Structure 1
Amino acid sequence: MNGSDTLNPELQLNIDEKLHQSGISQSRQKIIRQALENVNRPGFRIEPSAILPLMKPVTWFPPMWAFACGVVSTGESVTDNISILVRGVILAGPLMCAMSQTMNDYFDREVDAINEPERPIPSGKISKQASWLITFGLILTGFAVALSIHPYVMAIAFVGVLMSHAYSGPPIRAKRNGWFGNLIVGLAYEGVAWLTGSFAITQGVPSKESIALAIIFSLGAHGIMTLNDFKSVVGDKIRKVASIPVQLGEKNAAILASAVMDIAQIAAIAILVAKGSTIPTAIAVTLLIAQLPMQKILIDHPAEKAVWYNAFGTLLYVLSMMVCAVGIRP
């Protein structure tokens, strides 16, 4: 990992000017300036209470859920495979997802200093050196748990580490463009986790329906990631991160996110229809219809409602994932 030790004075002046133009309060600007100093301060600092926030537990649910969907989609008994399920869920969330978050916070520390100065690194609670040590520890622990499931699962975990670095770190740093960055996260959080869950149980190639659903819901997750970027618009503009809301504007980004999620669910419903799964099809259609009025509220007030929709509208999307997993069981 690498990163600049100090901000270029000219860049700092430009940031100060943009902070002033953004309408951020003076007190908030002071906090941000202090955070910008903290992120590259030398030395090793770590407050134990800040370790869990660094790993962002709120982000663990999607890959954990996707792994569980992959397990359920096999049609095998969950109770007979409870050990694999538990280890896989731990691998997907508290280890690999947490690793991706700590890695992202390292590489994104200067953007976070503007968007979320209370985060562990910008606030000075964890130094960038300490954050890398935590990331490395999660990687090693993740590999050990993955190997306990199957050697191929450890290989998949290694690919997950590479995807995390491609998203956050140089030279690719895919997150600088929302089209590519969101795609990588969707594939990692939903598709890879889903297919790993399926493989961990059967130790064979997943069914064609399972593969199709994993890809479909991964692409749909691009919309979820777009909504997640709404909270970072100010900092992304200042640091020239081309997220979808920055590129398209907030209203158009909300329309795109909704459309992407809806199209994915329609495609998944088509698979259920082809499979002849009547009840799961009806439930999936109901969940999709329930999202439509919520999406209208989101599109009418994108900046104010993005977090709200990500909490409630997205919940219906992920419920549809499990419904579809049940619907394709042999």
Structure 2
Amino acid sequence: MSRPDLSAVAELLKPITWFPPMWAFGCGVVASGASPEGRWPLVAAGVLLAGPLVCATSQAVNDWFDREVDAINEPQRPIPSGRLPGHWGLYIAIGWTLLSLGVALTLGPVGLAAAVVGLLLAWAYSAPPLRLKRNGWWGNSACALCYEGLAWITGTAVMAAGFGLDARSLALALLYSAGAHGIMTLNDFKSITGDRQMGIGSLPVRLGVRRAAQVASGVMAAPQGVVIGLLLSWQQPLHAAGVAALLLAQLVMMRRFIARPLERALWYSGFGVPLYVLGMLVSAFALRAATGA
């Protein structure tokens, strides 16, 4: 069997998608209130696990089991284009899964448990018999939890070194996970044709383009409103104002996105989503300040 070109392997693993879980892990580290002094190797291993390993695994798994859908939507992708011949896509997905588990062992029981959950969600999202992505509600929930909440919780728990997870940090992680469901929906607008033909019930397919855009925007905005209320209750008005300002800017952009979802989903992903994740970091620093760290 011919070997794939390294550029095709890199494209399969989609480095651009690694940023959200790496960022969320970092937010969890900040929110923990623990000093990274003397723990930088631990932090580096966690960031590596969240992005280039677990997230990259999810991309490889998804591309392998989506090869028929991609042949319609994105025929230039490595597998349908033939640049990853034979079963190389599957082999890479399995190999990256095992590599992820190996690195997770260095983070102790908490890191290993988080990696196992993340990898199970990655395979459940794309692979039969579950193939959660066939239902946009379930599939996007699994992705959002893995990309944001699980990575945040892992960062906090690893830094806490067995002293327990602050309920406030858990609340922020879950709220930003809920909002990330809408972010995942943004990616579905580009694949409506193939999804409809192959029976993938993404929200744009299920609800229609305009309604899906409205739902995605509402799902992204509502949890941030709750976060603002929590930050105020924790006596962090400046941080709350920062998140509110970021949300206001998003709302202005959401209105433009909803007007023409197909043409502007990618635009909103590029300009609106960074404001969302910046709010995550502001919230993490708010919790750090609230704990007196």
Task: Structure 2: give runs of 5+ residues left out of the alignment.
Answer: none
Residue 173, structure 1, aligned to residue 122, structure 2:
no
Residue 127 of structure 1 corresponds to 85
Question: How far apart are the structure 2 equivalents of 1:44 and 1:253?
Answer: 42
Q: Secondary structure at the match of 1:163?
A: helix
Residue 195, structure 1, aligned to residue 153, structure 2:
yes
- The CA deviation at 1:128 is 4.8
Q: Secondary structure at the match of 1:119?
A: coil
Question: How far apart are the structure 2 equivalents of 1:45 and 1:113?
Answer: 21
Question: How far apart are the structure 2 equivalents of 1:79 and 1:152?
Answer: 20
Question: How far apart are the structure 2 equivalents of 1:52 and 1:320?
Answer: 30
| Aligned pairs for 1:153-302 within 5 A | 153-204=111-162, 205-302=164-261
Question: How far apart are the structure 1 equivalents of 2:259 and 2:52?
Answer: 36
Question: How far apart are the structure 1 equivalents of 2:46 and 2:221?
Answer: 28
CA RMSD in angstroms comes to: 1.2
- The CA deviation at 1:81 is 2.5
Question: How far apart are the structure 2 equivalents of 1:209 and 1:150?
Answer: 23
Supply the AA of the counterpart residue of 2:211.
N
Task: Structure 1: give runs of 5+ residues left out of the alignment.
Answer: 1-42
Q: Secondary structure at the match of 1:118?
A: coil
Q: Deviations over 1:29-78 (max 9, x none)?
A: xxxxxxxxxxxxxx554222211000011111111011001000011123
Q: 1:128 to 1:194 in 2, by over 3 A?
A: farther
Residue 264 of structure 2 corresponds to 305
Residue 15 of structure 1 corresponds to none
- The CA deviation at 1:279 is 1.4
Residue 97, structure 1, aligned to residue 52, structure 2:
no
Question: How far apart are the structure 2 equivalents of 1:101 and 1:156?
Answer: 18
Asked if 1 retains the 8 angstrom alpha-carbon contact of 2:104 and 2:112, the reply is: yes
Asked if 2 retains the 8 angstrom alpha-carbon contact of 1:92 and 1:193, the reply is: yes
Q: Deviations over 1:140-185 (max 9, x none)?
A: 2211211112133112211211111110011110100101000000
TM-score where L is the length of structure 2: 0.96
Percent identity among equivalent residues?
Answer: 49
Question: How far apart are the structure 2 equivalents of 1:50 and 1:178?
Answer: 28
Q: Deviations over 1:171-230 (max 9, x none)?
A: 110100101000000111111111000111112321011000111111111100111100
Supply the AA of the counterpart residue of 2:48.
I
Instruction: Name which of 19, 33, 57 aligns with 2:15.
Output: 57
**Alignment: residue pair count:** 288
- The CA deviation at 1:303 is 0.5
Asked if 1 retains the 8 angstrom alpha-carbon contact of 2:110 and 2:154, the reply is: no
Instruction: Name which of 251, 276, 287 aligns with 1:328.
Output: 287
Question: How far apart are the structure 2 equivalents of 1:231 and 1:84?
Answer: 37
Residue 74 of structure 1 corresponds to 32
Supply the AA of the counterpart residue of 1:237.
R
Question: After TM superposition, where is structure 1 displaced by more than 3 Å over at least 4 residues in a row?
Answer: none
Residue 138, structure 1, aligned to residue 74, structure 2:
no
TM-score where L is the length of structure 1: 0.85
Q: Deviations over 1:264-298 (max 9, x none)?
A: 10111111111111211110011001111111110
Q: Secondary structure at the match of 1:60?
A: helix
Q: Secondary structure at the match of 1:326?
A: helix
Asked if 2 retains the 8 angstrom alpha-carbon contact of 1:298 and 1:305, the reply is: yes
Supply the AA of the counterpart residue of 2:268.
Y
Supply the AA of the counterpart residue of 1:191.
G
Residue 83, structure 1, aligned to residue 51, structure 2:
no
Say which one has the larger Rg.
Answer: 1
